[in-house]
Structure 1
Amino acid sequence: MQDNAAPTSESHHSHHAIRLTPKQTAALSFAAIGIVFGDIGTSPLYALKACIEHRSHSNPIDEGYILGILSMMTWALLITVNLKYLLMILRATNHGEGGIFSLLSLIPRSLNKGRGLRTRALVLLAMLGAGLLFGDGLITPSISVLSAVEGLKELPNPPTWIGQSIVPITLTILTGLFAVQQFGTGSIGKFFGPIMIAWFLLLAVMGLYQIQTNPQIIKALNPIYVWYFIQSDPFQAFTVLGSVVLVVTGAEALYADVGHFGKFPIQLAWYSIVLPSLLLNYFGQGAYVLEFIRQGALDEESLQALRPFFDMAPDWGIVPLVIIATIAAIIASQAMISGVFSIARQAVRLGYLPRLRVVHTSSDTEGQIYLPAINLIMLIGCVMTVILFPSSEKLGSAYGIAVTGDMIITTLLFSVMARRRWRWHRWQVVVVGSFFLVIDGLFFGANLLKALTGGWFTLTIALGATLIMLTWQQGSYLLGKKFAETSSNIHEFLAALWVKEVPRVPGTAVFLTTNNATPFSLSSFVEHSHVLHQQVLLVSVTPINLPVAPPQRQIRLTWMPDGFYKVSAQCGFMESPDIPKLLEKAREHGLAWDPESTTYFARRVVVLTTGNSPMALWRKRLFASLSSVATDSVRTFNLPPSRVVEFGVQMEL
């Protein structure tokens, strides 16, 4: 039985149920710009630079090259973000909630009966997607902040210490960012929208200024230039896709965050501000580089020093630009960190990760959560990332694999869901699925070429996270089976209780259970104390495939003989189970319950690796160590600590 869920708020669910006024839609779009589009919005800092550096050294950088990569970047945005995510994937939400686990939960399980292997393959895909998203969560903050701080190198006659201080400044900012997570983003979150709108307007103005000095750059809107580029050097066109993908990073986060804002406000923000600003800035950078080429000033040395984004700014504007770029990078990182918290919380609720402590940083917004364990792992991960890849060029090679791998997984899960849930015809699934899979596959293939230079890092993190989830899921299943084998049926226990005439004492005892078996803590308590409370509540909380359990399915009260009651509750994957609150609700169903005379009984399991289960020994050890750091029942179910009795039990696996 797990605690957590992914963030959203009660009010957010209403975005999908009621029609929004234009004012509400505008307000949500405004907020979405601050959170959803941060990652995509900081790509101009490094995307074109990475594409230019990607060329093969035998090829000069000429007008055809610039027009070709600009056209590729434009159509990557239009096809991947615009067509795939905004128009297709955003429609696939589970009661308004997005993200890879929501997509998995939309695939009807009833159709999977008797097809265990296929179901396992889909779950494994979703786990791998979550693992890749976690890898992305380490790289996005690192590359965004690092490339913003690197702008200091563009100062006129920079002192020598500037180059050496880029990494320390980046590490300081990142450490600060993770340190403030515990205070929540509510207080500063309201500034994110206005700052990011200012950022996008700045992108547009910078781009427009350069475009008007070199208007023929607009030609790159025509996809024929992609074709010319491919014809001139097919292999180079393929490899450069590995850097072109940097313009679409953040599309997955956009889908994961749809629950916070709703589909239409996100689309409105994209078409009205984000897409035009991005295109203008990329074309402005292209125009700037084209001017450089025309003047014949682009030799190998100046190419190394070229940073089109910062070079477009006048000397006096470098420092202000670095400051606002760093703030935008921090906001983009914040969205990614929240996304990882969200996905980790969903994984816990679905039984793929051990229970983790969840701190609600806002009393009125369910969505603002902080997971201390995940936060610490991400901080260590980001510091390692920046030390291993101390420049945005080096980090770029580690970035793409996570993003493109996730895109392939999303397309595959979406295709299965469209066929099984939306009842698309097979030909529709084949046409749409293969169109996006070819594009995702090309991006992924181009990034695999970078596996040795940096992609190995992301793949290692993703596979490690997937392995942890698989181990926890299998270990929990085997442990559950062991408990089921060793415990008696509750009705047999009640019969034995009646025969033994166990004395009853005043008060209420609450035992946590998962099925019709007798809870271990109940049998242990009776065995050791030879008494039992007058009223006994057997409480079970079942996670369901909905973000929030509907009111009619939240509580079921079943009367049993001898003062026993079964309280069954359902809990959505966006909720945290709170047993005292559930018992309050059970009062409405006729339960006589006094919190002051209630004692809660829980079990704490110590896993021993000496059993004969089919798990490899190293995986048993991994499961045992994960089990030892899992949050206890008191925190998970919000039990009052002074009223809890815990029973330890050793189980061999």
Structure 2
Amino acid sequence: MSSHNKDLQKLTAAGLLISLGIIYGDIGTSPLYVFKAIIGEGHAINEGVVLGGVSCIFWTLTLQTTIKYVMITLQADNKGEGGIFSLFSLVRRRAKWLIIPAIVGGCALLADGIITPPITISSAIEGLHSKYPGVPTMYVVLAIIVGLFFIQQFGTSLVGKAFGPIMFLWFSMMGVLGIGFIVQMPSILKALNPYYAYDLLASHGTHAAFGILGAVFLCTTGAEALYSDLGHCGRSNIRISWIFVKTCLILNYLGQAVWLMQHEGQVLDLNKMNPFYQIMPPWFLIFGIGIATVAAVIASQALISGSYTLIAEAVRLNLWPKVKINYPSEQKGQLYVPSINWIMCAGCIGVVCLFQESAKMEAAYGLSITVAMLMTTILVSKFLKRRKVPSYLINLFLVVYLLVEGTFLSGNLGKFVDGGWFTLSIGALLFGVMWSWHTARRIRNRYVKFVEIEDYYEVLKELSDDETVPKYASQLVYLTSANFNSEIESKIIYSILQKQPKRADVYWLVHVDVMDEPYTRDYEVDFLVPNKLIRIDFKLGFRVEQQINLLFRKVVEDLVKKGEVDITSRYKSLNQRKIVGDFRFVVIEKVLSRSHNLSLYERIIMAVHTQLKKVSISEERGFGLDLSFVTVEKVPLMLADPETVVINRVI
């Protein structure tokens, strides 16, 4: 972890401000639409619903956000990093099946990234209806979304520096506006009593109660971001800043409740009379809409950046096809993934065009993030077990949060027909991609044959010295998937000895291990045959860019400086002048030959993998190799043993 990142882990004023700008965009903009969703369109404002709604919001933020995420889940830091894939990396060695909740949770978060920008920006812009009833807000929302995704390629570090102060202004504004109405009806504070939440849910039928819970859940949808951005802000900064954020949120919800109580019995068009904007003084409304819009854009930016990080981690954990990843600024951790950017942009445009207004988007919102939270609960329970927390406490954690989140999931399932199908469909599609890529790799590895490398020491040494064979390269480098120094793929030996014998002064084997830690960047060197066969093992964190070309050259430079290896050209004319010999990388692409050995399920998986391979970048680009020094060799994976084939010779 960099010193800059270590500084952010400490409790500082700058760290608190940065955490406000990065983490709380989603959860911080929820007051724009939560009460609208709880009251529901076309329903008369009822005291029991208002008081019960505030009570449900308060206890949801307390149980779900404060206790589960801020107090418990933030303990699961992976060398200072958070997020569902960081959590998975901490516990994946405990059970193979944990890959399923990790993939499901990751896909749900990505699906949430497609619905969050449209609903937050729409909710903010629709405040214009209060002042200009006929304004076509949908086109304004589309313009903002397209502009937001367009600027991603240039980096957002400059704009990002302003996020913290703007979000501080946003939360302070919400708190002050809430207090302005609370003083008009101090008795509203009784709504914090959990009795009103119980009374609201008990007094309605099961169907209606689940519908209310689905709406209430929207107040905590950004809780997952608190954990995902742990590495950017640090546990202490998140915990302290959350006290301020939660206070401002509750004050604003209470203020909205007072305004609703003042209109008890009335049936209002909540799209045009959003309680959030109604508690603003008329003269301040246009400023409030402007600040809300900027806050909504910041919330969207946080989700978009989080999606890039999620995909980058998935690529390095072999859960997603290799895609191009850019680093548009020098700011640590800032990524830009072009393919995901434009897929998300198209998804957001589709959401706006399909649902058109925030009230209809609420039906699609919440379902996928509930699934993500359930998956996090499962993984956190395994983390607590790893930390040797007493079993009865782990079981209590599981029972409480599986019950709470299971109830919210049931409430959100009622939204399936009205829009929840959209995010679930997106999530299912993403799951299909991740699962197919992960499973296909396991199928392919099943048929990779390894041989003892020691058996080939002598022949490799003799080939290197055999001047009757044309020299292929001075330094020949192979990427190997063999985990042990004693092994090598039979296909590499075949490539060197049989598929055009490749004579070289030195043969290098390079292996990359993706570590469970995020930013590890270590290597080991093993001189299998001194000055003839050398193996380098890179141990890279799951958030480290795999620039093997640069890393390999750096290692070779260090070995040369220490006199451990001589890379001077062996050609006499060049050797006299101490000119460095040429390097060539060979990437062996294993092609799956057709066979009846695969089951129908495995054939489907491999067919999907083949199509995904066409749109992913090549192995050599994925490893950051200089293409002018790379040879790609395609070799078949023989799935059928030739000895089992019966054929008759006709004389």
Same fold by TM-score, threshold 0.5 exceeded? yes
Q: What is the alpha-carbon distance in structure 2 between the residues aligned to residue 35 and residue 324 of structure 1? A: 16
Question: What residue number does 1:115 align with?
Answer: none
Q: What is the alpha-carbon distance in structure 1 between the residues aligned to residue 592 and residue 130 of structure 2? A: 56
| 8 A Cα contact 1:555 1:582, kept in partner | no
2:83 pairs with 1:99: yes
Mean Cα deviation higher: 214-223 or 516-525: 516-525
Report how far residue 189 of structure 1 moved.
Answer: 0.7
Q: Among 285, 294, 308, which residue is 2:275 paired with?
A: 308
Question: What residue number does 2:572 align with?
Answer: none
Question: What residue number does 2:607 align with?
Answer: 621
Report how far residue 10 of structure 1 moved.
Answer: 2.5
| 8 A Cα contact 1:54 1:240, kept in partner | no
Question: What residue number does 2:643 align with?
Answer: none
| 8 A Cα contact 2:325 2:338, kept in partner | yes
2:160 pairs with 1:173: no
Q: Among 7, 10, 35, which residue is 2:2 paired with?
A: 10
More contact order relative to length (CA 8 Å, sep ≥ 6)? 1
- Number of aligned positions between the proteins: 613
Report how far residue 238 of structure 1 moved.
Answer: 3.2
Question: What residue number does 2:60 align with?
Answer: 76
Superposition pairs of residues 332-343 of structure 1, within 5 angstroms: 332-343=299-310
Gaps spanning 5+ residues in structure 1: where?
1-8, 113-118
Report how far residue 526 of structure 1 moved.
Answer: 5.2
Q: Among 551, 556, 568, which residue is 1:581 paired with?
A: 551
Question: What residue number does 2:126 align with?
Answer: 150
Mean Cα deviation higher: 195-204 or 215-224: 215-224
2:421 pairs with 1:468: no
Change (3 A) 1:275 1:592: farther
Q: What is the alpha-carbon distance in structure 2 between the residues aligned to residue 356 and residue 432 of structure 1? A: 38
2:237 pairs with 1:265: yes
Superposition pairs of residues 295-374 of structure 1, within 5 angstroms: 298-299=266-267, 301-302=268-269, 305-363=272-330, 365-374=331-340
Report how far residue 620 of structure 1 moved.
Answer: 2.5
Change (3 A) 1:278 1:588: same
| 8 A Cα contact 1:522 1:601, kept in partner | no
Superposition pairs of residues 48-447 of structure 1, within 5 angstroms: 48-53=35-40, 60-107=44-91, 109=93, 111-112=94-95, 119-120=96-97, 122-155=98-131, 158=133, 160=134, 162=135, 165-235=136-206, 236-271=208-243, 273-293=244-264, 298-299=266-267, 301-302=268-269, 305-363=272-330, 365-419=331-385, 421-447=386-412
Report how far residue 370 of structure 1 moved.
Answer: 0.7
Q: What is the alpha-carbon distance in structure 2 between the residues aligned to residue 359 and residue 631 of structure 1? A: 13
Q: What is the alpha-carbon distance in structure 1 between the residues aligned to residue 400 and residue 612 of structure 2? A: 41
Q: What is the alpha-carbon distance in structure 2 between the residues aligned to residue 262 and residue 318 of structure 1? A: 35
Change (3 A) 1:609 1:50: farther
Report how far residue 637 of structure 1 moved.
Answer: 2.4
Q: Among 519, 524, 528, which residue is 1:559 paired with?
A: 528
Identity over aligned residues, as a percent?
Answer: 34
Report how far residue 414 of structure 1 moved.
Answer: 1.1
SS in 1 for 2:366: helix
| 8 A Cα contact 2:127 2:272, kept in partner | no
Report how far residue 612 of structure 1 moved.
Answer: 3.9
| 8 A Cα contact 1:608 1:650, kept in partner | yes
Question: What residue number does 2:508 align with?
Answer: 537
Change (3 A) 1:651 1:306: farther
Q: What is the alpha-carbon distance in structure 2 between the residues aligned to residue 108 and residue 627 of structure 1? A: 26
| 8 A Cα contact 2:211 2:411, kept in partner | yes
Task: Say what the alpha-carbon RMSD is for the aligned residues.
Answer: 2.5
Q: What is the alpha-carbon distance in structure 1 between the residues aligned to residue 154 and residue 366 of structure 2? A: 31
Mean Cα deviation higher: 523-532 or 224-233: 523-532
| Counterpart AA for 1:600 | F
Change (3 A) 1:170 1:525: farther
Report how far residue 86 of structure 1 moved.
Answer: 0.3
Q: Compare CA radii of gyration and give the structure with the larger one.
A: 2
Question: What residue number does 1:5 align with?
Answer: none
Question: What residue number does 1:642 align with?
Answer: 628
Question: What residue number does 1:490 align with?
Answer: 453
Mean Cα deviation higher: 513-522 or 46-55: 513-522
Gaps spanning 5+ residues in structure 2: where?
569-579, 640-651
Report how far residue 259 of structure 1 moved.
Answer: 1.0
SS in 2 for 1:94: coil
Q: What is the alpha-carbon distance in structure 2 between the residues aligned to residue 534 and residue 193 of structure 1? A: 57
| 8 A Cα contact 1:15 1:261, kept in partner | no
| 8 A Cα contact 1:604 1:632, kept in partner | no
SS in 2 for 1:397: coil
| 8 A Cα contact 1:611 1:652, kept in partner | no
Change (3 A) 1:378 1:302: closer
Q: Deviations over 1:135-154 (max 9, x none)?
A: 11101111111111111111
Report how far residue 304 of structure 1 moved.
Answer: 6.0
Report how far residue 531 of structure 1 moved.
Answer: 3.9
Q: Deviations over 1:375-395 (max 9, x none)?
A: 121111111122222111111
Q: Among 36, 43, 50, which residue is 2:23 paired with?
A: 36
Report how far residue 442 of structure 1 moved.
Answer: 1.2
Q: What is the alpha-carbon distance in structure 1 between the residues aligned to residue 461 and residue 507 of structure 2? A: 14
Report how far residue 460 of structure 1 moved.
Answer: 1.3
SS in 2 for 1:602: strand
TM-score normalised per structure 2 = 0.88
SS in 2 for 1:511: strand
